[in-house]
Amino acid sequence: MTSSWSSRREVSPETTRLLIERAHEELLAGNAADRRLDDVRPLVRDSWRRSLQGLVGAEDLPPLDLDADALDHYRRSHPLGSVIDMVRGLLLPGGAAESGVIVAVGDAAGRLIWVDGDHRIRTLTGDMGFVAGANWSEDAVGTSAPGTALALDRSVQIHGAEHFNRLVQPWSCTAAPVHDPETRRLLGVIDVTGGPEAATPQAQLLVDAAARAIEGELLIARLRERAAPSLPSPSPRLRSRAQGPAPLRATLRVLGRDRALLEVGIGDTESVVEVSGRHAELLLLLAVHRQGLSAERLSDLVYGDPEAVVTLRAEMVRLRKVLEKISPALVPASRPYRLTTAVETDAHQLLSLLDRGAHRVALSAYRGDVLPDSVAPGVEEFRGTVASTLREALLAEASVEVLLAYADTAAGGDDVEVLRLCLSMLPPRSPKRAALVARIAQLEE
């Protein structure tokens, strides 16, 4: 058995893959001294060990650190957000949709702030959580080109089975860090992911050159700003006043819950409050209809009766008292009834994940129907929208593994169309086919 990467280059790619997979399994099994680990590149072997020490799961999905609203704001404020068009031109020339690769830009913490490229590959990699907003640092997903490039502060290529996370092992990738052109502070990373062609020597040269070009562009832009006339900077006291207090963050968790959870954060302070059924319905409908609702329209959505305004107003008084104790900023305004502070919901986060192609992450976030016991017409309508959007997105684009996982949920377990699609996508000799055939026959009796 060979013990160095350079001497193993003449071994067939399939043999190499098997050697690396066996070494990976030995490490996960706790056999850190197994000689098969000598068949893995030192760079990868060291990263695997860091991943293991960091208690990274071998099949964990990456955490979604930035929701849609936070992502948009962060991208516009981040230094690399200004060069995304340049990255697209350098690494996705001639159009992204059929480029054969996907390109990502991440920050120094490993959070992806932009992902674009081949539509088919984006759909497949979205299933493993490679989407904007997700954290792809080594601490989150283990060995990968973007995470390991940040950890080592150098360009890195990771080939298929070298990834620590099994979900990522069908892919290869090349990534390079990007630094502040003057201070050399680490700003983030650019990454190219795809098949074996995404981790060739030519790909590394291209990604390295793109990173240097981006640093040059950042320096040029900065020099132009300095050359332009500017207003005097405000005093520290004025800056402090302009920045104001830390913004409030609020998330309403309604998936699979009859009594919703309201999570509220201000700065480093977090609190969680359980919300009663009726108050959960009101908060959810105001979060869905952010433009506001008249008393009559909200009455219709909650009670199915536009004339139940007196009952609604009494309930809104009670809701305001509850929210006032949590944070005055959450108290709804009236005429029309509306939330003056954005309240995110886990249902909206799920829809955002589906829109970004993160089907596997979305399915793992799906805890069940929206407020399942609620009979409020507005909630029932939104519940149906979320459930149908999830189903249609999975039927249209999800991998067979994600579809099979959906078929094991209450939402997809009795869905013959889903089961038949799974059957059509499985290989002819898959051991999973027999159970699917039996389930379909039982449902069609």
Q: What is the pLDDT along the chain (445 residues), one digit of tens a residue?
A: 343 333 444 567 777 878 888 888 888 888 877 787 888 899 999 999 999 999 999 988 899 888 877 888 899 899 999 999 999 988 987 766 677 899 999 999 999 999 999 888 888 888 889 999 999 999 999 999 999 999 999 999 999 999 999 999 999 999 999 999 999 999 999 999 999 999 999 999 999 999 999 999 999 888 888 876 555 555 555 444 445 555 678 899 999 988 899 988 876 677 888 998 899 999 999 999 999 999 999 999 999 999 999 999 999 999 999 999 888 889 999 889 999 988 889 999 889 888 887 888 888 889 899 999 999 999 999 999 999 999 999 998 888 888 999 999 888 888 999 999 999 999 988 999 999 999 999 998 7
Backbone angles phi, psi at 108, to 5 degrees: -70, -20
**Does residue 134 sit in the same domain as residue 10?**
no
Tell me, what CATH number does 261's domain have? 1.10.10
Structure tokens at 151: 């950890």
In-domain check, residue 85: yes
- Joined tokens for residue 104: 């990502």
The answer on 272 and 211 residing in a single domain is no
Residue 143's CATH number: 3.30.450.40
Which of 297, 322, 344 is where one domain is finished? Answer: 344
Q: Do residue 216 and residue 141 come from a single domain? A: yes
Domains identified in the chain, total number: 3
Torsion of CA 271, 264, 326, 297, to 10 degrees: -140
Please report the pLDDT score of residue 240 as a whole number: 44
Judgement on whether residues 267 and 120 belong to the same structural domain of the protein: no
Q: 353-370 pLDDT, tens per residue?
A: 888 878 888 888 898 999
**403 domain residue, yes or no:** no
- Please tell me whether residues 170 and 74 are part of one structural domain: yes
What is the structure's pLDDT at 185? 94
Does some domain include residue 364?
no
Domain shared by 75 and 214, yes or no? yes
Residues 196 and 304 in one domain: no
- Which of 47-67 are b and which e, b meaning 16 or more Cβ less than 10 Å from the residue's Cβ? bbebbbeeebebebbbbbbbb
pLDDT of residue 9: 46
Please answer whether residues 3 and 39 qualify as being in contact, where contact means their C-beta atoms are separated by less than 8 angstroms.
yes
Residues 27 and 87 in one domain: no
**Residues 220, 263 within the same domain:** no
Q: What distance in Å separates the CA atoms of residue 45 and residue 63, rounded to the nearest whole number?
A: 24
- Are 75 and 221 in the same domain? yes
For 10, the domain range is 5-40
Residue 100 structure tokens:
């054969």
The pLDDT assigned to 242 comes to: 46
In a domain? residue 110: yes
Same domain, yes or no: 276 and 155: no
Amino acid 4: pLDDT: 36
Q: How far apart are CA 355 and CA 345, in angstroms?
A: 15
402 within some domain:
no
Q: What is the pLDDT of residue 287?
A: 94
Hey, what are 286's tokens?
């105001």
Q: Identify the domain boundary among 326, 344, 362.
A: 344
389 found inside a domain: no
Final residue in a domain of this structure, among 283, 317, 344: 344
Considering the domain architecture, whether residues 19 and 103 belong to the same structural domain is answered as: no
Task: Please check whether residue 367 is in contact with residue 256, taking contact to mean a CB–CB distance below 8 angstroms.
Answer: yes
Strand pairing category for 248-253 and 344-345: parallel
**pLDDT score for 244:** 52
Task: Give a yes or no: residue 177 inside a domain.
Answer: yes
Q: Is 198 inside any structural domain?
A: yes
